[in-house]
Structures are given as C-alpha cells and as structure tokens.
Structure 1
Amino acid sequence: MKINYKKILFAVVVAILLIFLVYNKLIKSSQPGAAQTGAGKKQAAIVSVAVVNPTSIEEKIFTTGSIMANEEVDLASEVSGKVIKISFNEGSKVKKGDLLVKINDSELQALLLKTTYSKKLAEEKEFRQRKMLEKEAISKEEYDVALSELNKLDAEIQQIKAQIEKTEIRAPFDGVIGLRTVSEGSYINPSTTVATLQNINPLKIDFSVPEKYFNQVKTGNQISFTIQGLKKTFIGKVYAIEPKIDPNTRTLKMRAISKNDNLELFPGSFALVELVLRKIENAVVIPTDALTSDIKGQKVYVINKGKAFERQVVTGIRQDRSIQIVNGINAGDTIVTKGILNVKQGGPVKITEQK
C-alpha cells in the first residue's frame, strides 16, 4: 500500500496552525491590565483611580544653612595687667553686667585715694574763698582760681575711675560663657582672648537661595530646619535679607531667627532648611503618578461613565509625590492613578482601587 505523504504533511501543518491560534488567544486573554467586557466589545483597562479633593499646598525652597549665636563676643581686656580674680565657671550662664575677670588696679586705687584727699582740701578752700568774695575781701579772680582747682580734681577723679573700670571685664549681655584661656596670675593685654560669650536663645540661621527667587522671598517667611543628631524639626522666621545678590554664587543671603528654649541647638551646626514661599488653599492637587506627557503637553485621564478621557492640564507647584493642577480638571473629578499605559482615549476601564 502506497503512503500519501502530501496528505500527512497537510494535516500536520493544519494541526500546528490550530494549536498556535488557540495558544495565542489564551495568552491575550490572560494578559494583566485587560479584561473582556463581552463578545465583540473592547477590552477594559484595569486601573486605580482617585477623586480630586481640594487641599492646601506650599511652594518651598530646599537649601542648606549654618546656625549662629544671637550675639557673640570674644572677651578681652582694654588694658594690660595681671589677672587677680576670675569670677566665672566655664560653660556657665552669666547675666549682663556680671564681673568676669579683675585685673590688678592697686596703683590706680592709690592714685584715686590721693586725688580724693586733694579734692577735699580744694572744697574747703573754695568754700572759704566764696565767703570772702561775698564780703568783698578778695577779688573775683582769686575765687575763680580756687574753683578751677576744685573742678580740675573732679575731672581727675572721673578719669581714674574710668581707668579702674577698664581693669574689669564684665558680661556685655546675658549668655553662656565658653572655655577660658587664662588663669589667675596670668599677664594679659588687649589682644588676649580670655573666653567667648554667646547668647544662644534665640538663635540665628544663615542661608542662601538662588537669585531667581529674589522677588518672591520676604521678611516674615517661615522656615523649618533640621540638624544632624536630632530627629526633630525646628521652626524659624526670616527677619533680614541681604540687599544684594552675591556676584560669586548668584545667591541671595537671608537670616532667620528661631527659639532655643531647651538649648538643643548650638552655633556652628549645619542645617537643612525648607523655606515656604507661599501657601495656596483649596488647590487642585493630584499624585505625580497620574500625570503623563505627549507631544501636546501634559495630560491626565478622567473617568466618566466607566470610560477614560484625556484632559490636557497646566501644572503649578510640584512636590515630591504631588503636583498642583492650575487648569484642566476640577475638584470632584475622578482620575486614573495607576495602569495609565493600558488606557486608551475613550476606552472602557475596570476600577480595582479607589482613593
């Protein structure tokens, strides 16, 4: 019996084609992001959606800065001399006017005592001369000489007292005093720094912003900042702005002030700063994942009666995970947030998650 190879080959080819068509149909029906809506109908894209609700949004600048003391001074003497007394403890709080360091003033004290005695004699002489002048026993010129001598001694006493004050180093403001560099018995001069004094409540924060924001920043802007080592956000307020742009960095220098009641912050710390430029209430804000782009611009998909429709939008303030929509959609619209790549203009959708 003769075998018909042509018929066998034809049957094999037909069987392979049938297997391929069935397999391809099974693969398409099991693809994620698509579900059959019925015979002869378009496939529905599987999506997640969110309802647009009005909310507030802030436009911020992120930058770095340095923390500074509210007031800071290097304590030094106005005159040279030997230290005879140190009246502060390192790292302690002091009040304005507290005596911190005393320099030997024995010679000045002796000179003051001598001048005081001379003044007493001059006062008695002036008194007698005045009485004699009233009786016309002496001339006016003789009395003026006695009065001038008294006034001269008064001036000398004031000068000596001023020199004695220069032998005392006093706190110019309330603050915390640092580590001292001298001991009792040390000889110091005006170039010797005895210690530093800092007022650290409140504190200042210096930072800079790019020059393009110069017409948006103003005194009163609120900042928030963090520092290394503390898992806490601190709040401050801008109170001064440099009236020029730095020509080297093209930035605008600003200074804010912040409370430091618990003395948690220290001058010199590195700060990560957020500056709030403006806050918009009742803004239309959507997740950034809901925004897509094409040759016409940026767009979102809005759900209406189970179908997705493109809406061209104009964006505003952008944040890490959200963005403001200035024009294109309204509060209350339902937009696609996930599964956007499977969505077609006017095509049906199947919602699996709604926020």
Structure 2
Amino acid sequence: MKKTVRRVLFYVMVLVVLVYLADRKFHFISKGEEVAQAETRSSGGSLPVTATIIKPEPLDDKLIITGALIANEAVEIASEVSGVVQKIYFKEGSRVKKGDLLLTLNTEDQEAQLEKLKFSKKLRETSEYRQRQLLEKEAISQEEYDVALTELNTASADIKVLEAQIAKSKIRAPFNGTIGLRYISDGAFINSSSRIASLININPIKVEFSIPGKYGTVINDGDPIFFTTDASEKTYQGTVYAVEPQIDQATRTMRIRATSDNSKGELFPGLFTRVEVVLNHKDNALMVPSIAVVNDLAGHKVFLERGGKVVEQPVTIGIRTANSIEIIEGIKEGDTVITSGLLQIRPNSVVEITDFN
C-alpha cells in the first residue's frame, strides 16, 4: 500500500514540473512573437536592411612587403699607400664633389727620388743620342745601341712608377656625396687598412626589397613602387631599376632595387620600409563591402535585393582590400547587395532598404 502511494506521489510531482515548464515555454514564445510582430509592424511588414548598388571602380592588385633603404653610393675612404698624413682638407658632415682633394700624405722622400730620377733620365737621353749617331755611322754595333736605349726606357718607367706613388698620396673624392665622421688627425701614420672616413651619396636613395619568386615575371624595370618608412607616415614614390635574375634558394624570393628622389634629404640608409608594388590594375572591378560576403560550405555568397525580396547568390571572389572584396563572378553592375541583417534574412524574405552604403 505504501509503495503504491509513493508511486502516485512521484508521478504527480513529475506532472507538476512538466506543466510548469510548458507554461514558461508558452510565455517565452508568446513574448518572442509579440516582439517580432512589433518589429514587423514598425517596418511595415518587412525587415529593415542597408545595401549597396554595384558599380565598376578602379582596383590595384598590390603586393605589400618590407624592405630597407640603402645609399646610392657608399665607400670607406682608404689610402693605397702608407705614409704620414700631411693635411686634411675635408670637414666632417660636409658635402664634397667628385675629384675634390680630401687629404695628402707626406711625400718628401718620393719627390727627392723623383728629382734624382729625372737627372738620371737626362743623362740616359744624352747617352742614347750619342749612341744613335755612332750607330748611323756604323761606329758601334746594334747591341751597344740597344743597351743605351733600354737604360733610357727604364729610367722613364721608374719616373712613371714614382709619379704614380706620389699621386696615390693625394686622396680625392671618387663621387659626389657627404663625408661622415673622421677617424684620423694630421700627423697620423696610415696604411691601406686604416679607417679614415666614409663617403655616402643618398640622392637618389635606393630601396631594396624581396618578392616571392612567382611574381618575378610581373615586375620589370621602370615599374613604380610606393613606400613608407619607420620615421614618417609620408608615402614616397620610387622606380624599379634592377631585378636580380635568380631566385634565392633559401627564401625562394627575388631581390629588387628601386630608386627614389631624396633631394630634400628626408630619407637615410638603414631605415626599414613598407613597400607597395602594383602587380595589376583593373579599371572596372566590381567591389562589395567585406561584411556583405558570407562564407559557406560551397564557397562564398551574397544576398541581393530584387523586388523587395532576398535572393541568395553564389559568387567567386578575387582581390581583397582593407574593407572590400572583388567579385569576379555572380553579380553584375547595378545589382543591389544587402550589407546588414545577414543573420536574420533568408531567401525570399521581405526586406526594406533603409540606407545605401
């Protein structure tokens, strides 16, 4: 008897719980229907959405990579010969022109030797002249004359060697540029390994960057580039002048160099750059806001508005930009693409466009 009562009470309690849950669900559904009805009444029986009308616009297919600025010309000034610095003619940070005298070494010993060789040469010239006169009279043999001529030519060669050494003691600027910091002083003894100063030409300045090897046939000499630096948000323009004719085996990239005007001196070697290279230009690309493109298992799709109703349209996408996506197939000029309420709308839903993007 007691077991039967307990069983009855258990079933009664279960029934009460089920009735309570059904009542809550009913009120929840009723409330949702009331909200939906209110929204429907406020929108005249349709879901308010925003949209954009498709029209062709220009589009650049850009490749964005990092690079670095390098000097147009750069060299460490050095001496080919050893010696004592006699005088320094340049100032640190100053501009020099090609051929300007930068410094000289003491050449007193070489100049004395040169003077001695010149006197010796005059003696050899006199001897050669006399031997030639005697040879014409057949008073000496050809061999004796050849010895005199060889001595004269040797003296001339020795003079040229010494003059070349003296010329190397005068160090001149190999190109137009700016002198860097100086590391020597007057009276210092220097040789070929001594650090003197650097000479740098930064106008124009060069931009060096690497691109994936698959784009090697797309970029050519004369193509424009655009770049910014870490030091400024200003955009500069350059022109490609050289493409490495091989792909780096380690990185699978090709190195490219471009030049850019730097007459204002705003750019310096060593700065990192963010380079934009235009791979392809389209005059009539069909672009839609990125938010309008929906991903699904079959690919991509957009929702079009036609006659106040929603039409689901599969599309093929192309180039992506910061805020837009190119549509290659699936839509045409003049189509109205819905850009909001994408989670609520379904095919054949009734919508009302409240604003155009």
Q: Would the TM-score normalized by the shorter structure come out above 0.5?
A: yes
- 3-state SS, counterpart of residue 338 of structure 1: coil
Residues 141-156 of structure 1: matches in 2 within 5 Å? 141-156=143-158
The reply on whether 1:340 has 2:348 as its aligned counterpart is no
Pairing partner for 1:318 from 317, 320, 332: 320
Q: Which amino acid aligns with 1:279?
A: H
Residues 52-201 of structure 1: matches in 2 within 5 Å? 52-201=54-203
Partner Cα separation in structure 2 for residue 154 and residue 144 of structure 1: 15
Check conservation: 1:34, 1:46, Cα contact below 8 A: no
The reply on whether 1:328 has 2:330 as its aligned counterpart is yes
Check conservation: 1:35, 1:46, Cα contact below 8 A: no
Partner Cα separation in structure 1 for residue 138 and residue 62 of structure 2: 87
Q: Which amino acid aligns with 1:141?
A: E
Aligned to 2:36: 28
Aligned to 1:242: 244
Pairing partner for 1:282 from 261, 281, 284: 284
191-200 or 271-280: bigger deviation: 271-280
- 3-state SS, counterpart of residue 342 of structure 1: coil
The alpha-carbon distance between structure 1 residues 18 and 321, as it changes in their structure 2 partners (threshold 3 A), is closer
Deviation at 1:216, TM superposition (A): 4.3
Partner Cα separation in structure 2 for residue 193 and residue 111 of structure 1: 29
Q: Which amino acid aligns with 2:315?
A: V
The alpha-carbon distance between structure 1 residues 148 and 34, as it changes in their structure 2 partners (threshold 3 A), is farther
Pairing partner for 1:268 from 264, 270, 280: 270
- 3-state SS, counterpart of residue 233 of structure 1: strand
Check conservation: 1:314, 1:327, Cα contact below 8 A: yes
Q: Which amino acid aligns with 1:27?
A: V
Aligned to 2:53: 51
Deviation at 1:219, TM superposition (A): 4.1
Partner Cα separation in structure 2 for residue 123 and residue 353 of structure 1: 103
Q: Which amino acid aligns with 2:243?
A: I
Pairwise CA RMSD: 2.6
Deviation at 1:230, TM superposition (A): 1.9
- 3-state SS, counterpart of residue 233 of structure 2: coil
Aligned to 1:10: none
Partner Cα separation in structure 2 for residue 201 and residue 106 of structure 1: 39
The alpha-carbon distance between structure 1 residues 105 and 345, as it changes in their structure 2 partners (threshold 3 A), is same
- 3-state SS, counterpart of residue 204 of structure 2: strand
The alpha-carbon distance between structure 1 residues 119 and 301, as it changes in their structure 2 partners (threshold 3 A), is same
The alpha-carbon distance between structure 1 residues 302 and 20, as it changes in their structure 2 partners (threshold 3 A), is closer
Pairing partner for 2:258 from 256, 259, 268: 256
Aligned to 2:14: none
Deviation at 1:29, TM superposition (A): 3.6
Partner Cα separation in structure 1 for residue 25 and residue 98 of structure 2: 98
Partner Cα separation in structure 1 for residue 165 and residue 105 of structure 2: 11
Deviation at 1:102, TM superposition (A): 0.9
Q: Deviations over 1:157-208 (max 9, x none)?
A: 1110111122122212221111110011111111111011112112222222
The alpha-carbon distance between structure 1 residues 306 and 24, as it changes in their structure 2 partners (threshold 3 A), is closer
Partner Cα separation in structure 2 for residue 337 and residue 59 of structure 1: 24
Structure 2 length as normaliser, TM-score?
0.85
The alpha-carbon distance between structure 1 residues 150 and 21, as it changes in their structure 2 partners (threshold 3 A), is closer
Deviation at 1:223, TM superposition (A): 2.1
Check conservation: 1:35, 1:45, Cα contact below 8 A: no
Q: Deviations over 1:29-64 (max 9, x none)?
A: 444x98544xxxxx4221112121211211222221
The alpha-carbon distance between structure 1 residues 327 and 208, as it changes in their structure 2 partners (threshold 3 A), is same
Deviation at 1:232, TM superposition (A): 0.9
- 3-state SS, counterpart of residue 239 of structure 1: strand
Check conservation: 1:29, 1:36, Cα contact below 8 A: no
Aligned to 2:355: 353
The reply on whether 1:298 has 2:300 as its aligned counterpart is yes
Q: Deviations over 1:254-297 (max 9, x none)?
A: 32222212111111111122222222221112221221122322
The alpha-carbon distance between structure 1 residues 35 and 297, as it changes in their structure 2 partners (threshold 3 A), is farther
Q: Which amino acid aligns with 1:114?
A: K
The alpha-carbon distance between structure 1 residues 200 and 144, as it changes in their structure 2 partners (threshold 3 A), is same
Check conservation: 1:313, 1:325, Cα contact below 8 A: yes
Partner Cα separation in structure 2 for residue 195 and residue 26 of structure 1: 84
Partner Cα separation in structure 1 for residue 179 and residue 191 of structure 2: 20
The alpha-carbon distance between structure 1 residues 19 and 152, as it changes in their structure 2 partners (threshold 3 A), is closer
Structure 1 length as normaliser, TM-score?
0.85
Deviation at 1:27, TM superposition (A): 2.1
Partner Cα separation in structure 2 for residue 198 and residue 89 of structure 1: 14
Aligned pair count reads 334
